[in-house]
Amino acid sequence: MAAVGVSVRRIDGEDKVSGHAIYAGDLRLPGMAIAKVLRSPVPHARIRRIDTSKAAAIPGVLAILTRDNINVASNSFGAYVRDQQILATDKVRYVGDMVAAVAAVDTHTAQEAVGLIEVDYDELPAVLNIDEALKAGAPLVHENLDRRDPGYGRYGSHVVHHDTNICLHFRHERGDVGDGFKNSDQIFEDTFYFPSAQHYPMEPHVCVAQFEGDVMTVWSATQSPFPVRQELARVFGLPFSAVRVIVPSVGGGYGAKSGIKTEGIAGCLSKMTGRPVKLAFGSEETFKTICQPRAKMTLKTGVKKDGTFVARHCEVYLDGGAYANSGPSVTEKAGYRAHGPYRLPHVLTNAYSVYTNTVPAGAFRGFGGPQVAYAYETHIDMIAHRMALDPFEIRMKNLLDRGESFSPGDTPIDCDLKAGLRSVAQAIGWDAKPDAHQDSGPKRRGIGIATAMKDGGGTNKPANATVKIFFDGSALLSTGSVEVGQGMRTAFMQVVAEELSMPTDQVRVAVLDTHYTPFDKGTNASSATSIMGQAVLKAARDARRQLIEAAAAVLKAPVDKVKLENGMANHGEQKLSYRDVMQRHFRESEGEIWGRGYFKIEKDNNVPLGFPSPFWEIGFGAAEVEVDTETGEVKLLRYVSLTDAGKMIHPLQCHGQDEGAAVFGLGQALFEDLAYDKGQLLNGTLIDYRLPRFTDLPSAFSTHIMEGGGGPGPYGAKGMGEGGILPVAPAVGNAVFAATGARIQAVPLVPELVQKKIGSGKG
């Protein structure tokens, strides 16, 4: 292949590094107003009164939006449960809930006016974590939720009674865990805690909304422009044809940018003022908008004497915060994956999405995978230690083989997991490992490994693409996938060039515009290359077919004798450039070829989540740490990441994706956690919240990418970019245990926690 498997120049690379790329926040439209929002200072309260009179008196204030004048057809929204409002109506449910918004001539005026809005609250008791939320008689975050809302209670999930903070309960069962435990030689039960992290995209949430010519146009930093269109159409009572979402350059998403965030308020203010309105959250506001669900997970596993797994019972609680967002889906996915990539005849999992009065949680790179992988990969190490088995060997004994089922009826495992594990173990020097925690001195080294897997996403996504060949023979691809930094545009350009046998410099990828781009559900779950890629390939092949037909007609040759090669259509000695083919074939009509491609994973009600997994995304990791036993500081010395790309379209980007994922995992393993005090987020700024820095990278850091060819994407490509995050926290935790003998069942492994555990004796 000429264009695929090559690390060609990245389309958006130069513009992004040189500052030329244009983001939604860069837009300036004539007369554009700037919006700012007022947020709740209390975690749970009824709003008694909102007084905007002082704010309205500030010169330059153009409009103030509150529940009292909100101009929408429907004020509720939500991808799975319509539990959120454009602006709070009766209650606020977390510190940061949006209560009012101001549009003004500039940022300063808007901010000043926001500060003058007076809100009287009747404070209510709040539930601030999973345990509080689940207590009998706990205050309810949502009293009167209509649980019949679309998306709620799909598949195996249960509809839960009204008087609870459980948003969703997903149950997954096979075999009989009771019988399984009876037939086990030993049973182990452990509880684990995983933190709530911030996505921290470089670009916070931002949009510009404008009503012009009966069309609401929104330039938005969103991963899901079509769902945003759908929500805005409903909220504003408009037909789809009157809502246009355009996606300029996007500065990262990681799950944060699904669903409407700024768009509803900006739209209301634009309607009120008759002006374009920009609403850009600061990064501190983004901290208060969406985060990763915090998790509490208990795993109970029955094991034979030789280490063979028999049964596993998982109880998974995800803290969904104040609003559901994608939390229900994350919960289902976490629950489905909770028992790990192991052969387990008996499984029972209950997974719960729990409302609390904290920042809403939802989709986050890994989508519930990092939480449960941390639990099952720490648990397996603990089992091995208790049974005096080798952590590597117990994994090898229980790992699923290629072709085996993760869950009956679901797609068979599409790569060699054992080869992957062996590979990372060898790379970290597993066989030669010193019994590290026996070292003397305050600094001790240890190594740890972890294996993890997630079912691929994009299952419910219809993927569409069009490939147009212009009259000059050049090609344009249009797809609904968003370039959030993953390199999708470049990879798709390669696929189109490959399928059309033309140089990549003749191919461009169109800007995403819901008026024009064929429908797509959103860019998430490692589905761009794998799922959309297939639609792109089909669209290119459809265009290729038409181009060959045109060439055959011009060359008076049979269709099957025309060969395309490097921008030329050849029939024997006759050679025509694509430009000539187009111009001779279409002549005065100056026609264009429009190729269309469609791909969708078909529904299968026999599979727990309603769709078979399109592929299995894996993430294997091996870590060497050095722990300062006096301070508790954990230093990651070496890290090896491994995933399976199926086929690498653009190798450099694949490695970049895996590196990025591993660094995300590193943050959650060592530093990241949203800390609250009485519902107040304590570290919602970059000064207080510790993101990984380049200096945190291990000095030896490598990513290994298998090309097992098992994916549904072009040329066997699978999704990737999330797998790498999954094993980091357990691999690091396992290495810390190896180094110190201290078993810590929570991340991040901040020095205080590690030092305390070491001090309290070995786990």
* Residues that bind a second copy in the complex, under the rule CB under 8 A: 11-12, 15, 18, 20-22, 26-31, 212-215, 230, 233, 239-242, 244, 274, 460, 462, 468, 470-476, 478, 489, 505-508, 510-511, 513, 515-516, 518-519, 521, 588-592, 598, 600, 603
Q: Which two tokens stand for residue 317?
A: 């609680």
Phi/psi at 7 (nearest 5 deg)? -90, 75
Cα gap 507→543, rounded to integer Å: 13
The least distance separating a second copy from the CB of residue 118, rounded to whole angstroms, comes to: 33
The least distance separating a second copy from the CB of residue 102, rounded to whole angstroms, comes to: 21
The least distance separating a second copy from the CB of residue 212, rounded to whole angstroms, comes to: 6
Strand 574-577 relative to strand 33-39, pairing: unpaired
Q: How many CA atoms lie within 13 A of 155 on its CB side?
A: 25
Instruction: Using DSSP, state whether 529 is helix, strand or coil.
Output: helix
Q: Where are the beta strands (DSSP E) in 489-592?
A: 507-509, 512-513, 563-565, 568-571, 574-577
The least distance separating a second copy from the CB of residue 689, rounded to whole angstroms, comes to: 28
30 CA to centre of own chain: 35
User: Do 117 and 51 form a contact (C-beta atoms < 8 A)?
Assistant: yes
State how far the alpha carbon of 302 is from the alpha carbons of 184, 188, 606, in Å: 5, 7, 27
Give whichever of 197 and 208 is closer to a second copy, judged by the CB atom.
Answer: 208
User: Do 729 and 661 form a contact (C-beta atoms < 8 A)?
Assistant: no
Give whichever of 59 and 213 is closer to a second copy, judged by the CB atom.
Answer: 213
Cα gap 657→722, rounded to integer Å: 8
The least distance separating a second copy from the CB of residue 12, rounded to whole angstroms, comes to: 5
The least distance separating a second copy from the CB of residue 239, rounded to whole angstroms, comes to: 3
Give whichever of 165 and 524 is closer to a second copy, judged by the CB atom.
Answer: 524
Cα gap 451→145, rounded to integer Å: 39
173-202 in b/e form (b: 16+ CB < 10 A) is ebbebeebbeebeebbebebbbbbbbbbbe
Give whichever of 595 and 684 is closer to a second copy, judged by the CB atom.
Answer: 595
Give whichever of 172 and 244 is closer to a second copy, judged by the CB atom.
Answer: 244
What sections of 325-366 are H helices per DSSP? 327-337
The least distance separating a second copy from the CB of residue 598, rounded to whole angstroms, comes to: 7
Q: Which two tokens stand for residue 510?
A: 């169109």
Q: Which two tokens stand for residue 309?
A: 């797994």
State how far the alpha carbon of 251 is from the alpha carbons of 248, 260, 307, 525, in Å: 10, 16, 46, 17
Give whichever of 40 and 459 is closer to a second copy, judged by the CB atom.
Answer: 459
The least distance separating a second copy from the CB of residue 156, rounded to whole angstroms, comes to: 18
Give whichever of 22 and 202 is closer to a second copy, judged by the CB atom.
Answer: 22
Whose tokens are 């839960």? That residue is: 160
The least distance separating a second copy from the CB of residue 661, rounded to whole angstroms, comes to: 25
The least distance separating a second copy from the CB of residue 600, rounded to whole angstroms, comes to: 6
The least distance separating a second copy from the CB of residue 126, rounded to whole angstroms, comes to: 39
Largest CA distance in the chain: 85
Give whichever of 277 and 311 is closer to a second copy, judged by the CB atom.
Answer: 277
Give whichever of 77 and 287 is closer to a second copy, judged by the CB atom.
Answer: 77
Which region holds residue 12: left if phi is over 0, alpha if psi is between -120 and 50, else beta? Answer: alpha
What angle in degrees, to the nearest 10, is found between the helix axes of 651-670 and 728-740? Answer: 50
Give whichever of 59 and 239 is closer to a second copy, judged by the CB atom.
Answer: 239
The least distance separating a second copy from the CB of residue 248, rounded to whole angstroms, comes to: 9
Count of residues making up the chain: 763
Please, which residues have CB within 8 angstroms of residue 13's CB and are 6 or more apart in sequence? none
Give whichever of 313 and 521 is closer to a second copy, judged by the CB atom.
Answer: 521
User: Do 260 and 232 form a contact (C-beta atoms < 8 A)?
Assistant: yes
Q: Which amino acid is located at 477 in the chain?
A: L
The least distance separating a second copy from the CB of residue 31, rounded to whole angstroms, comes to: 8
Give whichever of 41 and 274 is closer to a second copy, judged by the CB atom.
Answer: 274
User: Do 95 and 288 form a contact (C-beta atoms < 8 A)?
Assistant: yes
The least distance separating a second copy from the CB of residue 47, rounded to whole angstroms, comes to: 33
The least distance separating a second copy from the CB of residue 83, rounded to whole angstroms, comes to: 23
Partners of 706 in beta bridges: 644
Give whichever of 395 and 489 is closer to a second copy, judged by the CB atom.
Answer: 489
Q: Which amino acid is located at 529 in the chain?
A: T
Q: Which two tokens stand for residue 583?
A: 């111009």
Give whichever of 284 and 580 is closer to a second copy, judged by the CB atom.
Answer: 580
Give whichever of 232 and 636 is closer to a second copy, judged by the CB atom.
Answer: 232
Cα gap 242→240, rounded to integer Å: 5
The angle subtended at Cα 47 by Cα 44 and Cα 49, nearest 5°, is: 155
Encode 229-282 in three state secondary structure. HHHHHHHHCCCHHHEEEEECECCCCCCCCCCCCCHHHHHHHHHHHCCCEEEECC
Q: Which two tokens stand for residue 512?
A: 């995403």
Q: Which two tokens stand for residue 411?
A: 């797609």
The least distance separating a second copy from the CB of residue 101, rounded to whole angstroms, comes to: 21
Phi/psi at 23 (nearest 5 deg)? -105, 165
Give whichever of 542 and 644 is closer to a second copy, judged by the CB atom.
Answer: 542
Query: How many Cβ atoms sit within 10 Å of the Cβ of residue 505?
Result: 12
The least distance separating a second copy from the CB of residue 63, rounded to whole angstroms, comes to: 15
Q: Which two tokens stand for residue 316?
A: 């998974």
Phi/psi at 381 (nearest 5 deg)? -65, -40
Give whichever of 241 and 685 is closer to a second copy, judged by the CB atom.
Answer: 241
Whose tokens are 């069942």? That residue is: 745
Give whichever of 27 and 697 is closer to a second copy, judged by the CB atom.
Answer: 27
State how far the alpha carbon of 681 is from the alpha carbons of 354, 434, 636, 642, 685, in Å: 18, 42, 28, 35, 10
The least distance separating a second copy from the CB of residue 243, rounded to whole angstroms, comes to: 9
